[in-house]
Structure formats: structure tokens, C-alpha cells
Amino acid sequence: MRTNMIKFIVKRLLIAIPTLLVIIAFGFIMMRVAPGGPFTSERALPPEIERNIQEAYNLNKPIWEQFYIYIKNLSVGDFGPSFKYKDFTVNELILSGLPVSVTLGLSSIIISLFIGCFLGIVAAIKRNTYFDYSVMSISLIGICIPSFVMAPLLSLFFGLYLGLLPTSGWNGGNVLNLILPITALSLPQIAVISRMMRASTIEVLNSNFIRTARSKGLSPSYIVRKHVIRASILPIIEYLAPASAGLMTGSIIVEQIFGLPGIGRYFVVGALQRDYTLVSGVMILYASLLIALILVTDILRALLDPRVKL
Amino acid sequence: MKKEILNVQNLKLHYPISRGFFVKRNFIKAVDGVSFSLFVGETLGIVGESGSGKSSICRLILSLIPKTSGNIKWFGKDFNLYKKKEIKSFRKKVQIIFQDPYGSLDPRMTIGSIIKEPLGIFNKNLSKNESTERVIALMSDVGLSSDLYNRYPHEISGGQCQRVGIARALINKPSVLVCDEPVSALDLSIQAQILDLLDVLKHKYNLTLIFVSHDLSVVKAICDNVIVLKSGKIIENGITSDLFKNPKDPYTKKLISSVPSPIPAR
């Protein structure tokens, strides 16, 4: 089992290298195909200055050579200088934004996992009761309201009207500052997870081995804890990888609304300003996070279900 | 006179099939007024075509599904199955094995823990070693080698799965075992093995059996009394040998004549 697991992990990490290369190449080309460049501005620069800049950032070389230089630097962990944030490297920008985004993303995914699963299981057990109907209709609302509506509403209500919580800002990671953005990020996730959990729990509750468990004389709460959850959580685990990768690399909108210095805004600003290295850097980060999390979910699934062979 | 262990009076199970404000409510009458008794030590067969309500009766008398109306008295007592204590003491005495051997086992548990699980409910102060020993002893009783203790259901055959199901049902030494088509998912040679095993275990554990099947040759071989069901109603019942010799109802005659004879008529 253990050697199998290590073999599996090594194999997957080796497969991840070509995958990442393809993603990097794709991003590299996409950015350069987009019209304009990092140093295009309304006022035309004198040709010699432009030539100097191009030379400094290797933009005068043929594109395949630029790609080669970029990959070479990447292999030693250097994402290159930012084209737009002068005097900053992409590494520095990512490192400054990542802790913010990871704190937000990780806490909201954990919170939504617990609340969503709990609500889904209870709704499934008490299906077709008022509890079930209210959870399901509230979660439908949660899915429908986009975060750019939810976030300002939360900020307006709790920040301005009630004056309980700060409306925006990071403030060194103060817990009070985190509550609203985490809530805004969690609500749609709670909604999705609770609906998924309800559906899969109902399916498991109707399966034959649960009937066996009941005929054994086990108590209902024991059956749910020991038999139902292990089976019904599998689709949630599957969903968790893309969801948490998305949340951790920063919800662009929520970070923008609450004025948080996360990584999401670099993605948007970088793309708009053709900051080639910054966009590629954030993209590589997102892709590797996703690959890593999918690997983790595959391992988790094998641990939860003995029928899955790694 | 033998002691009565189960008395069922006018048992009904109706499923609503249409629901709405203007639509008249319709019901599927899965079980429609069934009455019978079960006596200590006998083997009662319940036969009938698919959809005749055999499995529904099993689940009803085991209280795995709620009844629509009627009385079910086990050991002369009406069990209130909404009380935890009563359901517990009931589950200790009456057990069931299911039709789908593989699907009825939790795929995430090892064979050993599946069999052991009910033990913990009724014998809280049993030590780990004692319960493991009891599981292994029972596994050899049902013909499972102890190597399978740490295997998972998907790693063993259908016949072995059904043996696990039987062991799981017997671990707390019940007095009644309900077999809901225990062999219909297995192939013929395995069927015979499982039937032999049930016969051996019946004597070893002093079991009273309810044996549900659509296969009349099986029922003829092992049952003392038979109930013939059609669309949720009892059509005919009686001692097996009499019933097979002189079936009164045309439906029973048809069922019996449909059994393939070992020596085909030319």
C-alpha cells in the first residue's frame, strides 16, 4: 500500500511537468498574441528609449528565444521581473499577495466544507420536511446571488448600518477584517456543497448496505457517522480541488471590493496591462496548485474507498 | 401445539403513486391484507412471482419500512419500533439476509468489521480479542477462511459475500432468520452450497426460518410450510408436501407446473 502510494505520487508529479510546460507555453503565446505590449502608451516613446527598454526585457529577441529564457529562469524558480510594477520581481509580488489569498481561501473552504456538509446531511435525513425545503431554497438563493452583489451588501449592512465590522482593508490580517470577505466567499460554496451533499447522502441512504446496517440494529446516528458520510462525501472531495484552488489564488472580485492586497488583482491588472511575466507567474501558480490539489483528492479518495486502486 | 413466534394480522402496505390537488389518490397495493403465523423451529416458505410482495413482507415484519396498517406481533408482543430500546432487543432476536449479497455489504469495511459490528451493540463489555475470536469462529461456521478477515467485499466472490451476510446476521445468535431470496443472485452450484449451509446452521443455532423465493424447487426442498402470494394477497397456504401434491388454486398449479423437471418429458 505504502510503496504503491509513493509510486503513484512520483508518477503523477512526473506527469505534471509536461502538463505545466504546455500551460506555460499556451499562456506565453496567448499574452503575446494580444494586441499591444507592456510598454505601449498613448504617447509614442522616442525610438532609442523604446529600443533600450526592449533590450532590457529581452523583447527584441525572437519569440522562441524569449520563451527559452523564460523557461530557463523558471527552472531555478525565477519568475522574472514584473514589466509594470517597476523594481518588483514577480516572485516578490506573488509572495506579498499569496498569504492574503491563502488565508482567505483556506478559511472559507474549510468553513464552507463543514457547514455545507452538515446542512446537506441533515437536509437529506430530514428530506421533504420544512428544514430540508428551507435549506434548499436558501442555498438556491446563495448560488444565484453573485459575489459582487453579496460582498457590497454585506459590507453595507454590517459595516455601515450596524457598524459592527470594518468595511474593507487587510489591517495586517485582523480577524475582524476577515469576517466579511470570508463570509462573501463562503456563502456560494456552502450553497453548492450543501446541495451536492444532500443529493449524494440521499443516494447512499437508499442503498442496500445502509438497509443492512439498519437491520443490524445500529442506531441511526451511528449509521450516519460510520456508513453514510464516508460514502456520500466522495463527490464533495472531487469538487474540492478546483474550488479551493480557485479560492486560494484569490477571488478577484471579493478582493477588489474589500480592498484586500491578495493575488487576484495581479491577475486582472497584469492581464489588462500586458504584464507578461506577472500573468504567466500567477497562471503557473494556479495550475500547479490545481495539479497538487487534484493529486491530494485522488489520494483521499483511495483512502476513503478501498475499491479505488492507486 | 407448537409455540407461535410471529403473528401477522391483516398486514397492508400501500404506496401512493399519484399525488396532487385534483388527481384522485391512487395506490399500489404491494401487500394487501396478509395474515399468517410462524412457529418455533419451522421453516416457512413464501413464494410468488416478481412483484407479488414477498420482499415487502420481509421488510415489513423486520420493520425496515413502515406499514400502512395491520398488526405484527413478535413473541406475542407488539413492538414499538420507534423506541430505541425495543428496536434494539428486537434486532437481536430477528435477523435478515438480503437478496443482493454484494450490495448489502458496506464496500468501505473489511469482512471482519462487517461481521463484528453488530456484536458491539449488544455486548458492550466484550474485549477486542474475544469479539475477534467469536467472529473467526463464526466465519469458519459459515465456511469462510479466516484469511478473509481483512479483505473487502469487492475482493471476494458473490457466494462468499452471501456467507458474510449470513455470518453478520448470526453473530448475535438470533432465534429467527428471514432469508429474502438469499440465493437468487447466485449461480446454481453456489445456490446449493448456500442452501446446505442454511440447513446446517438452522440445526446448529436452533433457528426458525422464513425463506422467501420465487424458485419453487428450492422451497420444496427446505420448507415445512408454504405461503403462495399473488399481487399482495395470500392465495394458498399449507404444509409443503400437501400443497405441492394437491394445489387447489389455479395460480399455484401454474407456478408448480412451471418448475422445470429434472427429467424433461419428451
A284-310 CB burial, b ≥16 within 10 A, e <16: bbbbebbbebbbebbbbbbeebbeeeb
A139: pLDDT confidence band, cut at 50, 70 and 90? very high
A234 near B107, Cβ under 8 Å?
A: no
Is residue A55 in some structural domain? no
Distance from the Cα of A226 to chain B's closest Cα (Å) equals: 10
Is residue B261 in some structural domain? no
B128: pLDDT confidence band, cut at 50, 70 and 90? confident
Please write the tens of the pLDDT for every residue from B176-227: 999 998 888 888 888 889 999 999 999 999 999 999 988 888 888 889 999 9
Q: What is the DSSP string of B182-195?
A: TTTTS-HHHHHHHH
Alpha carbon distance A216, B172 (integer Å) = 10
Alpha carbon distance A180, B189 (integer Å) = 66
Is residue A11 in some structural domain? no
What ipTM is given for this predicted complex? 0.86
Domain count, chain B: 1
Residue whose cell numbers read 491588472: A269
Is residue A252 in some structural domain? yes
Is residue B264 in some structural domain? no
Q: Determine how many CB atoms are found less than 10 A away from the CB of residue A48.
A: 8
Is residue A4 in some structural domain? no
Domain count, chain A: 1
Residue B227 parent element (H or E): strand B225-230
Alpha carbon distance A154, A160 (integer Å) = 9
Please write the tens of the pLDDT for every residue from B23-42: 666 788 889 889 999 999 89
The closest alpha carbon to A264, from A184, A159, A166, belongs to A184
Is residue A300 in some structural domain? no
Q: What is the DSSP string of chain A?
A: -HHHHHHHHHHHHHHHHHHHHHHHHHHHHHHHHSSS-TT--SSPPPHHHHHHHHHHTTTTS-HHHHHHHHHHHHHTT---B-SSSTT-BHHHHHHHHHHHHHHHHHHHHHHHHHHHHHHHHHHHHTTTSHHHHHHHHHHHHHHHS-HHHHHHHHIIIIIIIS--S-SS--GGG-HHHHHHHHHHHHHHHHHHHHHHHHHHHHHHHTSHHHHHHHHHT--HHHHIIIIIHHHHTHHHHHHHHHHHHHHHT--HHHHHHTT---SHHHHHHHHHTT-HHHHHHHHHHHHHHHHHHHHHHHHHHHHH-TT---
Distance from the Cα of B118 to chain A's closest Cα (Å) equals: 6
Is A212 in Cβ contact with B100 (below 8 Å)?
Answer: no
Give B101's DSSP letter.
T
Range of the domain at B50: 4-254
Q: What count of CB pairs under 8 Å joins A to B?
A: 60
Is residue A150 in some structural domain? yes
Mean pLDDT across the stretch A256-280? 84
Is residue A121 in some structural domain? yes
Helix, coil or strand: residue B12:
strand
Is residue B265 in some structural domain? no
Alpha carbon distance B52, B36 (integer Å) = 16
Query: Amino acid identity, residue B61?
Result: I
The beta-carbon neighbor of B96 closest among A207, A215, A231 is A215
| Residue B165 grid coordinates | 451476510
The beta-carbon neighbor of A207 closest among B87, B103, B168 is B103
Range of the domain at A165: 98-272
By CA distance, what is B171's nearest residue in A?
A216
Assess whether pLDDT exceeds 70 at residue A179: yes
Chosen for mutation from A205, A207, A211, A212 (greatest number of chain B CBs closer than 10 Å) is A212
Which stretches of chain B sit within 8 Å of chain A by CB?
62, 64, 84, 87-88, 90-92, 95-96, 98, 100, 103-108, 117-118, 121-122, 152, 154, 165, 168
Mean pLDDT across the stretch A10-25? 90
A205: pLDDT confidence band, cut at 50, 70 and 90? very high
Q: Domain containing A116 — which CATH number?
A: 1.10.3720.10
pLDDT score of B262: 66
Is residue B260 in some structural domain? no
Q: Domain containing B183 — which CATH number?
A: 3.40.50.300
Is residue A266 in some structural domain? yes
Is residue B259 in some structural domain? no
